[in-house]
Amino acid sequence: MAARFFLWLAVFTASFVVKAESYVFPAPSGEATPYVHDTELTLYANQTLSAIAQQNIELLIKDTYQTLNRSNAKSALSEINRRNEGKLPPWLFSALKRCEAWFNKTEGNISCRNGALYDYWATYVQSQHGLSRREVRRLARVARIAEVSFKSENRLEFSPPIQWDLSEFAASLAAERIVEYLASLDINSYHISALGLEVHASSEGISWQGEIAKERVTQGGGIASAIAHVRPWQRPVMFTGNGVSSEKGVLSQSDGWPSAKFQAVAVADSAFDAVLLAHFAASQAAQQSMEMVNGEPSLALKLIDENGRVFTSDTYTSRTSGKRVKDNKHNAVAIDITLPMFDIADYRGPYVSVWISDEKNRLIKSLALRGTSERWLGELRTWWRRVGRKNEGLVDGFSGATKKNVPLNIKWDGLDDYGESVDASSLILHVEVAREHGSRSYEKVPFTLTDLASPKTVSGMDEIASITLSSLE
């Protein structure tokens, strides 16, 4: 009887702790396009919204979508696109400035400048013309090289043919404005979702489970966390009122053509940044995205290819707390590979492959692949024979540019290529390097996940200087 009472008490206490108040704000009437979604807001810690606060949030959401509606000639975005200059609401000025920062950081692969490109795709979907690869590339290029100048007092000047378009990111900007409004009400524990976008922020460090991305995002210290999820191969490139494109993927902002390399789960401190990162990563080679994200602790990224292979940034485990990640924290390994210096005038960056196998040479985890030329990837003979020719998708989706003698600093989370726990007790690290007009080196380092209390260093030969493995526990 006592046991039953304490069980009841535990259930009652748990239900009290997670008590939440939910509100649904329908998509604004007359704005029901594929990029306009119902918004759900859940408040925790016995917080509630007054009727006036609910009305203010409805107006805020409506204002966001209407301001960004290029089909409305009187919207703020339409007017500035028509004049190529003007004063903007502070939140929109800030959004365009942040998008331009991403534009510069990604070398034009993320952009809010491509309204003319979207219009071209829209008229194609409506069967007003055929689809020209040359024309979409031209539209993306001329927008990419046009000049933009941010002035004081939220004024913006830019050159034609830029047409600003933030329609795909409107839900994230509405979420950010809701976050700002809730802060003004001293409401600090909540969850906001809009279809493919999920946002949570709390000054109490609450963890939350993503409904779409199925990841638990951890944040604290009053820092807002956001998660965005893109499945490009399930996503038409263009939606219009008259139909959708047969082409699938995320529209590449640099060349105007759809790309669908990865399913992307992006974590950032703000909703807008999370969505921008997800769109960028869905269309780029994995190593290009990971190198950018690993340099910014505020970002985290997980990529999944069509075969189910998983790639994660060094920051991902620290920003998420899924069960498998927790179980494998003690297995995390740092792998540092040093390449030798060569005093050669025509020194060219080497091709490098790094992977982990079991004792029977069965692939467990692909860790790095530098190089994109199929001819020279074939020079990585051991990698190609054991890994590459059986997993040719790795070359397109995972390979990155060669980098002279830049060392490789890799963090492995102890999971295999498909995100599952590694059970093998004995593992082998493989490192292969081949250089044009140079030689080829291959080293393998046996290790276990429990014998790295002290770093393990192996000296290489020719194209490999040294390899060091150490625990990240």
| Burial category of 219 from C-beta neighbours within 10 Å (exposed 0-12, middle 13-18, buried 19 and up) | buried
Mean pLDDT of all residues in 431-452: 88
Report pLDDT digits (tens) over 130-173: 999 999 999 999 999 999 999 999 999 999 999 999 999 999 99
Q: In this model, does residue 16 exceed pLDDT 60?
A: no
Mean pLDDT of all residues in 170-189: 93
What gap in Å lies between CA 467 and CA 443, rounded to an integer? 9
What gap in Å lies between CA 421 and CA 415, rounded to an integer? 5
pTM to 2 decimal places = 0.84
Report pLDDT digits (tens) over 96-126: 999 999 999 999 999 999 999 999 999 999 8
The pLDDT, as a whole number, for residue 222 is 45
Cα–chain-centroid distance for residue 467?
30
The pLDDT, as a whole number, for residue 344 is 66
SS3 call for 277 = helix
Q: In this model, does residue 342 exceed pLDDT 90?
A: no
What one-character-per-residue DSSP string does 40-94 give?
EEEEETT----HHHHHHHHHHHHHHHHHT-TTSTTSHHHHHHHHTEEE--HHHHH
Who has greater pLDDT, 358 or 34? 358
The pLDDT, as a whole number, for residue 166 is 95
Portion of the chain with pLDDT greater than 90, in percent = 45
What gap in Å lies between CA 446 and CA 457, rounded to an integer? 11
What are residue 124's phi and psi, to 5 degrees?
Answer: -60, -45
Mean pLDDT of all residues in 300-324: 79
Mean pLDDT of all residues in 224-247: 84
DSSP 270: S
Who has greater pLDDT, 153 or 2? 153
The pLDDT, as a whole number, for residue 205 is 56
pLDDT class for 421, splitting at 50, 70, 90? confident
Element (H, E) at 312: strand 310-312
